[in-house]
Amino acid sequence: SLLLALSLLSPWGSAGGSCPPRCVCASNLLSCSQANLSAVPAPLPRFAAVLDLSHNNVTRLRADWAPARLPHLHSLLLSHNGLAFVSTEAFAHVPRLRHLDLSSNRLRTLDENLFSDLGELEVLLLYNNEISTVDRTAFENLGRLRKLYLGQNRIARFPLELLREGSRLPQLALLDLSANRLRAVPSGELQALPAWLRDRLYLHNNPLACDCPLFQLLDRGRRRHLSAVEDFQDELRCFPPGATALVKILELAGKQPLNCSKAQEAVLEAHLGDSVTLGCDSRWQGVRSRHWVTPGGERVLGDGGNGSAVLLANGSLQLRALRPEDAGTYSCWVAGPLLNETLYVELLVHNFTLHGPHDTLNTAYTTLVGCILSVVLVLIYLYLTPCRCCCCRAAEKPPAPRDDSINSSVLSTTPNHAGGTGEPCGSHVAPGAGTGQNGRFKGGGAPPLPPRQGPKAQRKVSDPDSVSSVFSDTPIVV
């Protein structure tokens, strides 16, 4: 009744009943969760972007569940439906789907090319099903898939093809295989994976068989603080040889019967075209066998497939004519009389083919020369710039005598330029033309005024250096 009331109040209900029965619709969102549906409701509007069908009884998803194309649908939720069958053509009408939730159902197999129509899919939830068989092409054409959740199923074989072939899932950043039935994992190949992918590779709660490569893989992940190892240390368990009880994998170091040792790591740098030798210096005497695993997961026992990798008599690996794809982590597996040991060598291949090996020196030299020239130019500007008023300094007014009053120096009148002719600073002044009383030079350069007639005839011409001369004609306001 609540769903019906909400559907009647929504804009969809007033639009001719375009919202499917027993669903709540808002804008381009369709929520049909917990509606006791046994099939996908119809009709579905073409502009739907999110369709929630979780917690229903849709046990089969046929190819005709969406008879018309839904070009805007990007999220489809089908969890908790008891879904046991999905047609290989079920997603032909939703090519823009980015989020697909099929979790908590009863799926048992992932058939051939099941998701091949979902080229834009980014998140696929398949956890908590009964999946035991995964076809190698089930995830074909998922070039944008970033997160794949396969936990809590019945998978017994590790799907290494999802990780090894980068062209299949090139953007995969999370793979959850926890709580399955895995008894072994390809430790060497997983060790060669990039750290960002191993950080989101979940293997806990699997009945794994204990061995030293598995311990060293997880121990190295713990030392590098990978979340898939650090967050689930207690759930990472395995069965020791001949035992029936699980033990923590990260506690196998130095314990019988495996006596696993912690892996050693080294870093080696080289350039394109160089030849390098990766040492495998084990601390154990009487080593029975040793082999190398390349970053691509290939095992080197003798000459490499392309002749660039050679296993030497002392156990070292020689790489000739380095290429960019030769960079990565190489692992040396040593089988000793008491325990096994693994050594990891991370090879960094620097590319100087575009600019040559001397670019670093040339750049440093150019920078040094530029700094020296900058300092020289600054010094020239500060000390060798010619003075534009050198001729004026000789004609400057000499310092005032010490007996001048402070008022004379501070309140002296501004030179009179009313009659100036704009002569340069080097022009000569006629003798006596700028002489004031007491023989001082008058800044204005004007001759003294003639004495006035009348009662104020005895008044002298005001001195420009005098305080009274400045304020003589200004009335005093009390």
Mean pLDDT of 7-18: 46
Cα angle 91, 93, 98; round to 5: 60
Burial grade of 368 (CB within 10 A; 0-12, 13-18, 19 or more): exposed
Residue 460 has pLDDT above 60, yes or no: no
Residue found by looking up tokens 């501070």 in the block:
410
Residue 427: the pLDDT is 42
How confident is the model over 359-387, as pLDDT tens digits? 444 566 678 888 898 888 888 888 876 65
Here the tokens at position 241 are 């040889």
The lowest-confidence range among 199-208, 261-270, 322-331, 456-465 is: 456-465
CA atoms of 61 and 228, how far apart (whole Å): 34
Residue 38: the pLDDT is 93
Residue 168 has pLDDT above 90, yes or no: no
Residue 126 has pLDDT above 80, yes or no: yes
CA atoms of 223 and 233, how far apart (whole Å): 12
Residue found by looking up tokens 């035991």 in the block:
132
Residue 405 has pLDDT above 90, yes or no: no
268: three-class secondary structure by DSSP: strand
Cα angle 143, 294, 227; round to 5: 60
Please, are residues 149 and 131 in contact by the beta-carbon 8 Å criterion?
no
Residue 165 has pLDDT above 80, yes or no: no
Mean pLDDT of the chain: 76
Here the tokens at position 374 are 């900058």
How confident is the model over 69-110, as pLDDT tens digits? 899 999 999 999 999 999 999 999 999 999 999 999 999 999
Please, are residues 176 and 127 in contact by the beta-carbon 8 Å criterion?
yes
Residue 220: the pLDDT is 85
The lowest-confidence range among 38-52, 270-284, 354-368, 442-456 is: 442-456
Burial grade of 268 (CB within 10 A; 0-12, 13-18, 19 or more): middle
311: three-class secondary structure by DSSP: strand
Closest CA to 44 of 62, 63, 70: 70
Residue 332: the pLDDT is 82
- pLDDT cut 90: percent of the chain above it: 33
Residue 356: partners with Cβ closer than 8 Å, 6 or more residues away? none
Q: How far apart are the first and last CA of the chain?
A: 95
Here the tokens at position 76 are 């489809």
Residue 319: partners with Cβ closer than 8 Å, 6 or more residues away? 275, 276, 277, 278, 308, 309, 326, 347
Residue 58 has pLDDT above 80, yes or no: yes
CA atoms of 454 and 458, how far apart (whole Å): 9
Residue 2: the pLDDT is 45
269: three-class secondary structure by DSSP: strand
Give whole-number Cα distances, 129 to 34, 114, 145, 237, in Å: 20, 16, 20, 22
CA atoms of 213 and 54, how far apart (whole Å): 42
Sequence letter at residue 249: I
CA atoms of 247 and 255, how far apart (whole Å): 11
The lowest-confidence range among 86-90, 101-105, 170-174, 425-429 is: 425-429
Q: pTM value?
A: 0.59
DSSP codes joined into one string, 147-166: EEE--SS---S--THHHH-T
Here the tokens at position 441 are 């030079």
Mean pLDDT of 257-286: 78
Mean pLDDT of 197-205: 91
Mean pLDDT of 338-366: 64
Mean pLDDT of 215-225: 87
Give whole-number Cα distances, 93 to 24, 72, 116, 117, 337, in Å: 22, 10, 12, 9, 61
| Residue 221's pLDDT band (cuts 50, 70, 90) | confident
Burial grade of 470 (CB within 10 A; 0-12, 13-18, 19 or more): middle
Closest CA to 335 of 289, 282, 280, 388: 289
Give the CATH H-level superfamily of domain 268-350. Answer: Immunoglobulins (2.60.40.10)
Residue 203: the pLDDT is 95
Residue 468 has pLDDT above 60, yes or no: no
Q: How far is CA 326 from the centre of its chain?
A: 24
What are the structural domain ranges in the chain?
268-350
348 bridge partner residues: 269
Mean pLDDT of 333-341: 65
CA atoms of 387 and 361, how far apart (whole Å): 42
Here the tokens at position 90 are 């079920």
Here the tokens at position 111 are 């058939």
Go through the chain and tell me how many residues it has.
478
